[in-house]
Structure formats: structure tokens, C-alpha cells
Amino acid sequence: MSAPVRVWAPAASRVEVLVGPADEAVVDVMHPDADGWWEGPALADGTDYAFAVDGAGPFPDPRSAWQPYGVHGASRVFDARGFTWTDASWAGRTALGAVTYELHVGTFTPRGTLDAIDDRQLRDLASRGVEMIELMPLAAFPGSRGWGYDGVALYSVHDAYGGPAALQRFVDRAHGIGLGVCLDMVYNHLGPDGNYLAQFGPYFTDAHETPWGWAVNLDQDGATGMRAFIVDNATRWFEDFHLDALRLDAVHALVDDSERHILAELADTVEALSDRLGRPLSLVAESDLNDAAMVTPTAEGGLGMTAQWADDVHHALHAYLTGETHGYYGDFGSISALDKAYRSVFVHDGGFSSFRGKDWGAPVPDSVDRHRFVVFASNHDQVGNRALGDRPASRLSPGAQAASLALVLLSPFTPMLFMGEEYGETRPFMFFTDHDEPLGSAVSEGRMHEFAGHGWEELYGGSVSVPDPQDRQTFLRSKLGSGLAAGSAANARIEAWMAEVITARHVTLRDGAWEAHPAGASELAPRQLTMHGPVRVHANLSASSMEVPLEGRVVGVFGNVAVEGAETGLGTLMLAPDAVALVAVADGPFVDGQTASR
């Protein structure tokens, strides 16, 4: 099917569309329509085209679905209605409470495409308890490899990953296996290479600054164009690609002083679309503001996001397990910080943040569902932005890895794993790019400068050679290979433990479980940790044995764990060093006389 090609260029006096291959393109003059839009001829699916604005260009379509020639080349018409979906029975899945799995398409498999993530791998993830796959950004970006946060064609699917049709096939496969799909979207900025939006209209403004330069224009003259660009983009993923959720990158950088914040507008629009489609649609925000207004309904004056990432929980958990307290981990690492994170979500909830040098955040009301906060022990940022891209599993003991999984998956929050974490992957995930010169060299030099003198030598115990993001080997070394467990004995041990944790998770999902058994964390002795809740996680990370009262049913053990005195009704749980035990206190009596090890 064909449809008239359209583009928003409110200040232009002449817009042309160049149809066909670049060396023999046919020029057609477009006609002005209402509200700054221009309309041209109907173009069939698969047609290449580009725009010229007042004689400048040719430029790709700002709303291009497909960039087969890269971010500087012509766009290609993609008819999203041409795909035959088989997911009519899919009822949808909310992001709230879903075990989420973040993956990078380019490094998850050897081929690095959406089609390469086949039914076998999806079934494997589902069998491990994963319920929602979160894809790192797919919008077209310069070169063939990268994280995707420098995307410039936000309506497109990166051609190296298979283009837009491959995403439809992926979502259809995932739904058939019972997996929801979330897509990471970056609305707060566009990358510097291939960003042609400013050639068409006031998509950006110098009235505000962001870490990436000028802000997207959400509240100045002509802001209707960028606001519509964002809202239309989000609804398109839900409608044309059947996505279940969007993760919104760094929403604190969406500076909007208008009467109605863009996030509130987006939330209301998506809610209406959800009602029309008859399935849940979720918006998950990454926010540094530490303010529950982000997940408060718009009808109550909030911004209406379904959920948000909770970095403070990660910081508290990571610093406690690893002992790292440099940089933004400075206020974390203690049992009191970990306890506050599990009880209150935000450690910085109005008090002083030493990293920021000022008071930060606001308390989360007890009435706010803790599933509205996504927590993790690893993600692309927390691994990839380390000097060497090393994962916690490469440094933690097996027991600490086991504890980490349990402390995330059995928490009161929405849990997220980073690809490979489910089997203890130790290969790094590094920052990699594929920019042309001179930007490529600038990125490499900037990366080296960024990590100079930041205490990494002390952390790693010696000199540090930061991998060059432009070196293809940096990308290749970040691949998982098969996308499944590597198969070592250590991997198998973590995999078996993961299964026990997932099996125990049903106890934490029962109505009233967390009210009866509130979240928290405590130490019996230094490095002898208990996470409180419907399933208690006892983790002995010390060099001495750990003895705790047995106050429920043992539902999982890692390492050497024994139960003594169960016949008296006053049993004791004995944990050797580097052992973990799961005890369901909300799920019946404890087990009589049990000794186990793994």
C-alpha cells in the first residue's frame, strides 16, 4: 500500500522530495498543508526518498522507518501494515513486577541481529523466569556497532540489526513464547552525527542546556513539532510493532517548563491507547530526580510513568557486595544504606548527597507500590561505564553472585537482569562505537581522558588501559557468543541457583505478603547479611560461620547450609562461608532436619 509522503517544516518556503536511487532521483515539489506540514506524492513500500528544504539537502526523513544506506543516506518507505501477525491471543504484559532482561542486540548473539535471537533462545529465557525483554536502543546510529544512545533516526530500526521488519518478527516470536518486549527510547537528545532535525524546524532550543548540548524543544516557540514527534513516535511502537513497554532514557534531561510536562502528555496518550488496544502499555522512566512524582498518576498531579529505575537500590547493593565506595557510591556500602534502600527505595530522599554536593530527592510514600521501581545489580550503564567494562561476576565470589541474584529477584521491587547475569557471565561489556573521522578519534580520546585519574588504578590494583571504543575488538570482546550459558561448572551452579530463586519468587507475589513481612536488611555480624521479606535471604559473605534462627521453610540453598534442631520447633540455620539460604517465612512451616550444599 502507498501513502502520501509528509514532513514537518514550518519555516520552509519550498520543500521537495527526491524519489528513487540517489543518482537518478526524480524531484517532486511538495505542497504546504496545515500546521507547518508539507505533503507530497504517494510512495510505495520499498521506495527510496529524501527531502530538500529551501534548496538544502538532500536529507533523510525525520520520521524515517528505515535507513538502509546509513544515517546520512536516503530513507526507505516501510509499510508496517504489511506484516502478518500471529499474536492475536497475546493479552499483553505490564512492566510492573515483570522479571525484565536487558539485552544489547549486537552483542547477544554472534550475528548480532534481531532474527538471530531465535525461538530456542527466547524459550530458554522464558524457562529461566524472564517475563519481559528490554532491548537497548534500536534507532539508526552512525556505523554498524554501538550502544544506540547516539541514535539520530528515532522512528527507524538500525539496519545492521535487520531493519523494521525484523523487529516485528522478533516481537511476534516473543509474544508467541509468552515474553513481553520493551524498547529503550532516547528522547532527551540525538547523536551529533547524522542529526538533521534542525534542518526542518525548531526541534531544539538553546533556552536549556543538557549534558549533550542544546535541549530538545518542549516549551519554546515551535515546540509543538518536537512534542508531536515524541508522542507520535511512542504510540507508533505500540501500534505498528506491538511493543508492550518503552524505557525512556534519562527523562530528567527532558527540560519542560510548559504548563503540561511532555511526560504527562505522553502518559495520558499511552493510557488512552492502552484502553483502545485492550492490553497494558507501560512507560518506564530512567530518572535521577529521586522523586515519586515520576510514577504518580497524572490525575493526582504526577507525571504518570508506569515505573522508574531506582539507581539508589543498585548503588546500595553494589557497594555492599563489592566494597566499592568511589564516585557516586560514596554514600553507600553500609548495611544502613542497604536497609534504607529496601525499606524506602531512595537513600537520598531529601538528605545530603555527597556526590551531588547538596540535598537531593524526596521520600517515597508507603502507599506507592514498590513494583513501580525497577532494580538491578547490573545494567548496561553500571557495567559498560566502568573503565574496563567488567561485570560484578568477574570479581565477586560465587556466594556473593548468588546473593546478588536473590537480593534482586526476591525484593519488593520490579527486578531486572543484564544479559548473561543469569548464569554468571564474566566476559566484559564495554563501551564501543563506529564513528567516522574526525569524530571517531575525538570519542576515543575523550574516553581515555574521562577515565584518567578517577581512581581506577586503585580499584583494579594496577595501571589501567582503557579499551578504545572505536576498535572493533572492543565490540567483539563484549559479545556473549551464543547468548546462552557458557557451560562451565561455575555457570551451571549459578544457573541452578537462579532456578531455585525463581521458584521461590511466587511467595513474594502473594497478596499481603510484604505487608506481613516488610522489606529491610540487617547484619548478624559484619558481612553476615539478611534481607527481610516474605522470603528471607541469608547470605554469609564473611570468613566465619553464620547461625540464624530458622523461622520458615527452606526453599533454596547455595553452598554449605545445614538445619539443626528442627525437631524442637526452634531450628537453627547454619551457613558456611560463601553460602546463601532462602527461607520462606510466609509459606508454611520450616523443613525438619535438612542439610544441603551446592
Q: ∠334-532-597 over CA atoms, to 5°?
A: 95
Q: In DSSP terms, which residues pair with 417 in a beta bridge?
A: 101
350: Cα separation from own chain's centroid: 26
**499 CB contacts (<8 Å, ≥6 apart)?**
128, 129
Task: Tell the burial category of 353 from Cβ atoms under 10 Å away from its Cβ (0-12, 13-18, 19+).
Answer: middle
List the one residue out of 427, 454, 402 whose CA is nearest residue 558.
402
Is residue 564 within 8 Å of residue 572, measured between CB atoms?
yes
Q: In DSSP terms, which residues pair with 248 in a beta bridge?
A: 185, 285
Catalytic residue status for 311: no
Instruction: Choose the catalytic residue: 172, 249, 291, 381.
Output: 249
d(CA 315, CA 22): 50
Name the helix (H) or strand (E) containing 45: none
List the one residue out of 367, 373, 320 whose CA is nearest residue 521.
320
Catalytic residue status for 286: yes
**Distances from the Cα of 306 to the Cαs of 244, 283, 331, 488, in angstroms?**
12, 5, 28, 39
Region at 148 (left for phi over 0; alpha for psi -120 to 50; beta for the rest): left
List the one residue out of 54, 151, 127, 496 whose CA is nearest residue 135.
151
**3-state SS track over 279-314:** CCCEEEECCCCCCHHHHCCHHHCCCCCCEEECHHHH
Interhelix angle 398-409/489-508, rounded to 10 degrees, is 30
Is residue 451 within 8 Å of residue 466, measured between CB atoms?
yes
Q: ∠89-90-91 over CA atoms, to 5°?
A: 105
Is residue 283 within 8 Å of residue 244, measured between CB atoms?
no
Instruction: Choose the catalytic residue: 219, 286, 324, 578.
Output: 286
Is residue 342 within 8 Å of residue 336, measured between CB atoms?
no
Is residue 587 within 8 Å of residue 534, measured between CB atoms?
yes
**Looking at the chain, how many residues does it have?**
598
Q: Would you name the residues annotated as active-site residues?
A: 249, 286
